[in-house]
Amino acid sequence: MRPRSLRKPCSGSHILGSRWLSDPSRKVILKFAVSCRVLTLVLQALFNVVIPDHQAEAFSPPRLAPSGSVDKLVEGLLGGLSRWDAEHFLFIAEHGYLYEHNFAFFPGFPVALLVGSELLRPLRGLLSQRSCLLIAVALLNSLFSVLAAVTLYDLGCLVLHCPRQAFYSALLFCLTPANVFLAAGYSEALFALLTFCAMGQLERGRGWASGLLFTLASGVRANGLVNVGFLLHSQCRGFFSSFMVLSPTRQLVKLMASVCLSVLALSLPFALFQYYAYTQFCLPGSPRSIPEPLVQLAVDKGYRTTEGNLPPWCSWDLPLIYSYIQDVYWNVGFLRYFELKQVPNFLLAAPMAILVASAIWTYVTTHPWLCLTLGLQRSRDKTPHPGFLSPQVFVYLVHAAVLLLFGGLCMHVQVLTRFLGSSTPVVYWFAAHLLQDKEPLLRSLETAPAKPSSEDCPPGQRVPRNSIMVLFCNWKTCSAVTRYILQYFLTYWLLGLLLHCNFLPWT
């Protein structure tokens, strides 16, 4: 049986099996998330109109269809969502994988955009396909982000055993430093939703549903492969808990079969994607029809198409186009980004790196025995630790540590903010933990007498307030830690919109 919280800030009933909107906290999160999405779309349109676009050296394919007046209006209102890597996703959704470097972007999100644009087919008389795709980006990513916030709250209630901290973390997710990437034509919003849903299903003991969602997530972003660790850890815990009760041999066989199945399932989208690339570039076949303007773009920019020479990766023992592209086109590799000219990008990623590193240090120093036993053996400390310091957080912390280490050493380091902000709940759980632990105003709100229940709130249950907005309204009285956290979240939330939507360096 899971230990119940004994600390007052984390007390209170939370019925997970109730209807989706019966929890008033979920309603507050839903309202705040929708408000943040609407404000994001309005601000990106405003910044895109007021500030001239920077002439960046980014992928910019020609428009094949003529633009009407409505298309120009859509481009003016939503064009800020199509910058940098978003152009790749839009291009793939419209034309497919024509160029070799397009295979750096997994097919999950383009497929979602294509489905969304098909739902707008009745408007094709007024809109071009690109305009339909831009509208699909705005609507789908807004929907994915809102659902991800609510899903994060549900996950927090399951893992943290502290509904208040789960509530704060979900509100913070609405103000995530990776905000612009949850709105623009990037795959982060869909990946966050699938990942948080999969984690929640695993916490509920629904291994098959969790495995399916993790598999879908690995078809959206490559780092979804790392999520196999959650399944493996859960299976190992089940093995050790039943080792002394059931037949050890039978349990070991079951464990090995489960591990193999999990690895194969999560690797399947990646393997199929690599095989598809191999059939396009390395095997003889009928030539693919490519519009002349796109052929000319390939000639001008040196892009490789399926009609070009055989790529060198085709002759590899393990012909992985993804590894080749990351190496040749993006110069991704161990310590390759450690150059003096990249210092500004390291500074840009520093707040997120410090936040996650602090979370790791805090947890490890609190639970050294739990960490030494890889979370498979209960801590010798009998004191209950609800919230971020709950023993269940261990596997999430290891996941965050792996992402931080890989992102900091092997990737373009400025990507770290969106990489971690859309992949791990630890970012928001630890920030909520700091707010709850260091902010007297939050503690006073938690101990204040309950307000009278509204008509939508179950009898006897407190009507929740948006605690983050309360902190903003009482900014001068907030603690230093609170101000540092909220300044970081809000500054990156706004600055990302301002820069990214105008092709300025915020990727």
CA dist., res. 291 & res. 326, Å (int): 27
* Residue 263 host element (H or E): helix 248-281
Handedness of CA 407, 410, 413, 419 (dihedral sign): negative
Give the per-residue pLDDT at 384. Answer: 64
In percent, the amount of the chain with pLDDT more than 70 equals 90
Per DSSP, the three-state class of 259 is: helix
Q: Is the pLDDT of residue 396 over 80?
A: yes
pLDDT at 453 > cutoff 70:
no
At 101-138, the pLDDT tens digits run: 999 999 999 999 999 999 998 888 889 999 999 999 99
3-state SS of 166-212 is HHHHHHHHHCCCCHHHHHCCCCHHHHHHHHHHHHHHHHCCCHHHHHH
Q: How many Å apart are CA 410 and CA 225, to the nearest integer?
A: 16
Tokens 């994607």 identify what position? 273
Average the pLDDT over 275-286 and give the result: 89
| Residue 260 contacts residue 231 (beta carbons within 8 Å) | no
Residue 8: pLDDT band with limits 50, 70, 90 = very low
**Is the model's pTM score more than 0.85?**
yes
Residue 275 identity? Y
Give the pLDDT confidence of 195-228 residue by residue, as tens digits: 999 999 999 999 999 999 999 999 999 999 999 9
Whole-angstrom CA distances from 323 to 107, 209, 308, 327 are 16, 30, 20, 6
Query: Is 215 within 8 Å of 266 (Cβ atoms)?
Result: yes
